[in-house]
Amino acid sequence: MIKQINKFKPLCFINNLIITAKNNIIYKTDTNFVNFDRIGKLDNNIKYRLIYFNRLLTRITRCNPHCAVLINKEIIYLSANGKLYEVNIQKKTITLSNKYRKGMRNPLSLTHIKNIEGFNELICYGEYFGNSNKEKVNIVGKIVGNNKWEILYTFSEGSIKHIHSIIPDNIRNVVWIFTGDFENSAGIWIAENNFKNVHSVFMGNQKYRACVGFPIREGLLYATDSQLERNYIRILKYNKEFEKWHSGNIYSLDGPAIYGCKVRSDYIFSTSVEPGSGRSNKILNLLDRKPGPGIMKNCSQIVIGNLKKGFKTLIEGEKDQWPMRLCQFGVFTFPTGDNPTNKLYAYGIALKDYDGKTSIIEVE
């Protein structure tokens, strides 16, 4: 049995509550989505107010709040429309904290680094934008409690296209960095000592192109993110005897995985439906409806499991009829943070029967 909540996008957990957005209005609600308490509104721009009246226009303009991360019981950071906001849950205030570089709308995710040796407590993000010329790409952040945002690390010109994810690993006291997309840009990196020491683990292959990963005792569990090749859930392990990392397949996916979360002992990945290589004609490129060769099914699948019991498909949502570059990829997204329930909260984008809705699914 799946319960659906229309128009509300869950962003992050805070204790036994969920921070959620309806267009540009932020609420906190219980885990059953019954009682809502309004926190505040993002930019009250008349342009956005008009856009929110039409779901398809909202998708085209990417106007919905994109991602959020909890810092403490009062503060979250939220990304929307090229800006980063600080939201105080108790005081019900929303203030502009930072603006992204020109050409960047949102990072794929925000990261809170805490209790890792050699690192201050940080809120940070990796720059994510088109960057076809491979300009310099930065990790930007600030010490929690300070107001000054600064560049923490820079990938040199020509090295990568953009940053997908920054993942704290409290087991190994390192921070993982996923970069993309093609040739030598696709890679997995390790950072230490407040990003003063950054080195690549693997580079230059689509099996090292990833957006979502989970540090576990056995290694780094991650899923590949290629619209051009078959995708897999993989694990990155360290071989002490040879002093080398090794990456191996665990489970085959029917599409690239951009988003994931954890419910109890289960790890969740959602596959996306997206186009292949871009066309030379800009209009045809925007209107392209043909999935890339790495997409085996025209649907987003939610895959759930762990190393002990294996993985399986929980649900799937068929891609709708609208073109993928113009009207967004077909995908499920999830709220961040520690989920206190045995329920999965999945927000559908560009999927028949799921678009613009949060599905609440009981997990065994």
pLDDT for 185: 94
Predicted pLDDT at 172: 97
The mean pLDDT of the chain is 95
Asked if residue 76 lies in contact with residue 39, where contact means CB atoms within 8 angstroms, the answer is no
Question: Mapping DSSP to helix (H, G, I), strand (E, B) and coil, where does residue 340 land?
Answer: coil
Q: At residue 75, does pLDDT exceed 90?
A: yes
Q: Taking Cα atoms as reference points, which of 164, 170, 85, 178 lies closest to residue 123?
A: 85
Residue 343: other Cβ atoms inside 10 A: 17
Query: 361 and 314 in contact (C-beta within 8 Å)?
Result: yes
Q: In what order do the strands lie in the sheet with 9-14?
A: 9-14, 17-22, 25-30, 36-41
CB 67 within 8 A of CB 336: yes
Identify the CA nearest to 165 among candidates 120, 127, 113: 127
| Pairwise CA distance, residues 142 & 132, whole Å | 27
Residue 24 pLDDT grade (very low, low, confident, very high; cuts 50, 70, 90): very high
pLDDT reading at 1 higher than 80: no
DSSP 286-311: HT--PBPTT--SSEEEEEEEETTTEE
Residue-wise pLDDT for 195-217, tens only, equals 999 999 999 999 999 999 999 99
Among 29, 124, 31, 26, which Cα is nearest to 66's?
26
> pTM for this structure?
0.96
> Closest by alpha carbon to 228, among 298, 263, 190, 181?
181
Tell me the torsion sign for CA atoms 214, 139, 246, 257: positive
Q: Is the pLDDT of residue 50 over 90?
A: no
Q: 3-class secondary structure for 100-118? A: CCCCCCCCCCCEEECCCCC
Answer yes or no: are the C-beta atoms of 169 and 215 closer than 8 Å. yes
How confident is the model at residue 352, as a pLDDT? 98
Tell me how far apart the alpha carbons of residues 72 and 87 are, in angstroms, rounded to a whole number: 11
CA-based radius of gyration for the chain: 19
Query: What pLDDT, on the 0 to 100 scale, is given for residue 99?
Result: 96
How much helix, strand and coil, in percent to the nearest 5, is found in the chain?
A: 10, 50, 40
The dihedrals phi and psi of 274, each to the nearest 5 degrees, come to: -145, 160
